[in-house]
Amino acid sequence: MAQNPAQRRYMRRMVVLSAAYIAAVMLASWLIPDDAAATPLTVAIALVPALATSGFIWAMARYVAELTDEYVRMLEIRKMLVATGLTLALASGWGILELFTTVPRVQLFYVFPVWCLGLAVGSLVNKVTIGDGGPCL
């Protein structure tokens, strides 16, 4: 599927934000020693990469808002709903397991990557139910 202007803008934003995220993670790793205490300074530095991840979410929201093709927008929103449902179900399920059993603790950091994997599942659901997986971003 040829990219529309909204998809091109989304890709440009994601490239810039990804570069910023990698730079912020490297900077935080370099500045904060292992097992550093949570002081205002270490927290502030550690939160810089979170600005980039918040930027990813902003870019996705802008992408959906800027899509002029209502059918493609529906496919994308369906993907996001599947990803959200899957992530909430997995997070809640694992959280309950952690509460009652000795399963390994999963860091909250992994919620976002799991949601992104959920988008692929959403694309598969679109393909199976509508016959069209939607744009591959």
| Tokens 């040829």, located at residue | 2
Number of amino acids touching another protein (CB under 8 A) = 11
| CB-neighbour burial class of residue 71 (10 A; exposed 0-12, middle 13-18, buried 19+) | exposed
User: Of 35, 68, 104, 128, which lies in the binding site for another protein, with binding defined by CB under 8 A?
Assistant: 68
Residues 101 to 130 in contact with another protein, rule: CB under 8 A: 130
* Chosen residue from 64, 74, 80, 111 binding another protein by CB under 8 A: 74
Least distance in angstroms from the C-beta of 11 to another protein: 17
Determine which residue in the list 43, 51, 69, 98 makes contact with another protein, applying CB under 8 A.
Answer: 69
How far is residue 96's CA from residue 100's CA, in Å, rounded to a whole number?
Answer: 6
Nearer to another protein, 69 or 98 (CB): 69
Helices (H), the chain: 5-31, 40-66, 70-100, 111-129
Per DSSP, the three-state class of 137 is coil
Site residues (vs another protein, CB under 8 A): 1, 4, 68-72, 74, 130-132
